[in-house]
Amino acid sequence: MSSATAQAPPLANAPRVSRRRKALRPYLLSVPAVLLCAGILYPFFLGVSYTFFDFSATNPQPNVVGFANFKEILASSEFWASARVTLLFALAATGLETVLGVGVALLLNRSTLIGKLFEKVLIVPLMVAPILAAIMWKLLLLPEIGWVRPIVEFFGVQGYNGTDSPVAAMVWAVVVDAWIFTPFVAIIALAGLRSLPKSPFEAAAVDGGGWWLTFRKLTLPMLWPYVLVAVIFRLMDNLKMFDVIFGLTSGGPGTATTTLQISAYLEAISYARYSSGLTYMFLLWALVFVISMILVKYLRRLQNRAAGV
């Protein structure tokens, strides 16, 4: 009650106290969240500090080694191979998801009967745990029991061997990722399409603009901020994708699908070389961080321009 009396002519000290309390209020409300952040940042910084040690299961009393881990990893061909696989996977998967997702959204936006029916089941793959999706696809792709071999053979392709070849493993990893996350891009693009103003499209129709022209000059530019939100989420996720690749190929065959996340897992967990694994992870984190900063800045500029600021 006391704070509400600030409206009435107050007693000498009352408003000052309540004002100070008022200024403190947002901080008090955020204290638990800040503590939680601190609780998570502590292991993070601990992890970063481990990159300057030679910490491993066989060396539980680690010594400071400075930048030796970074030097060693940046000089190794495994790291760069792994970085290339990471970028290839992330770009291919994000690209495929974006194109498919926007395409599906455009088709669903026509609001045909069949589209309305499909829209209800659109999100099914997205709600399947990625690791379970990877396992489902692993079984689906197995030549002995999966349905992909008969389908592929029906179209006359011979010598199907699942994810046994390096190229096939990468292609299928991208396909599985796209299977899960295309609906993500699609529902965001669809929400964007449905919120676009109608009048420019009516004007374009009156002027007799063709479908492709309307799409390229009108739909796409207006939809772009929405698509960009989806692209940012997908690119960040795909750069650090673990579940799909681990469940489907575990990084193989050989190192064909060994992304940085898988390399770090192998180093840190399988071989118990913690410092080395963390250095991999830190480098990936830095990459993700820089890319996300650039993309978010670009998105903000785009949104500000759209809002006319």
Partner 1 sequence: MGTTTEPMAEPAAPAPAKQPPEPPSTASQRRAQRGSAAGLFANLALVLYFAFSLLPVLFIVALSLKNNAQQTTTYLWFTPTLENYQTVLGLGEGGSSYVRFFLASLATSTGAVLVSLLIGIPAAYAAARYKFRGSEDLMFTLLSFRFAPELVVIIPLGVIYQQIGLYDTIFGMIWVLQLVTMPLVVWILRSFFQDLPAELEEAALLDGYTRRQAFLKIVLPLVRPGIAAVCLLAFIFAWNNFIFPFTLTSGDAQTVTVSSLAFLGGNQVRFNLVAAGAVMAVLPPLVLALCIQRYLVRGLSFGAVKG
Residue type, 21: R
Give the helix/strand (H/E) hosting 59: none
Contact pick of 64, 75, 206, 307 for partner 1 (by CB under 8 A): 206
Helices (H), ranges, the chain: 14-50, 68-75, 77-108, 113-119, 124-127, 130-141, 148-154, 166-195, 199-206, 211-214, 220-239, 243-248, 260-265, 274-306
Ramachandran quadrant class, 253 (left: phi over 0; alpha: psi -120 to 50; beta: rest): beta
Q: Tell me the number of residues near partner 1 by CB under 8 A.
A: 107
Cβ proximity to partner 1: between 2 and 76 the closer is 2
- Residues 98-127 touching partner 1, rule: CB under 8 A, are 100, 103-104, 107-112, 114-115, 118, 121-127
- Residues 243-302 touching partner 1, rule: CB under 8 A, are 243, 247, 261, 264-265, 268-269, 274, 277-278, 281-282, 284-285, 288-289, 292
- Residues 29-58 touching partner 1, rule: CB under 8 A, are 29-30, 32-34, 36-37, 39-41, 43-44, 46-48, 50
DSSP state of 64: B
Cβ proximity to partner 1: between 7 and 158 the closer is 7
For residues 78 and 260, the answer to whether their CB atoms sit within 8 Å is no
Residue 37: how many CB atoms within 10 A of its CB?
Answer: 12
- Residues 222-241 touching partner 1, rule: CB under 8 A, are 226, 229-230, 233, 236-237, 240
Measured distance CA(2)–CA(18) in Å, rounded: 8
Would you count residue 72 as binding partner 1 (CB under 8 A)? no
Residue 143 in tokens: 């030549």
SS3 163: coil
Residue type, 97: E
Cβ proximity to partner 1: between 165 and 270 the closer is 270
Stretch that binds partner 1, among 9-17, 19-27, 74-82, 166-174 (CB under 8 A): 19-27
Cβ proximity to partner 1: between 150 and 221 the closer is 150
Contact pick of 79, 160, 215, 224 for partner 1 (by CB under 8 A): 215
Contact pick of 53, 137, 234, 257 for partner 1 (by CB under 8 A): 137
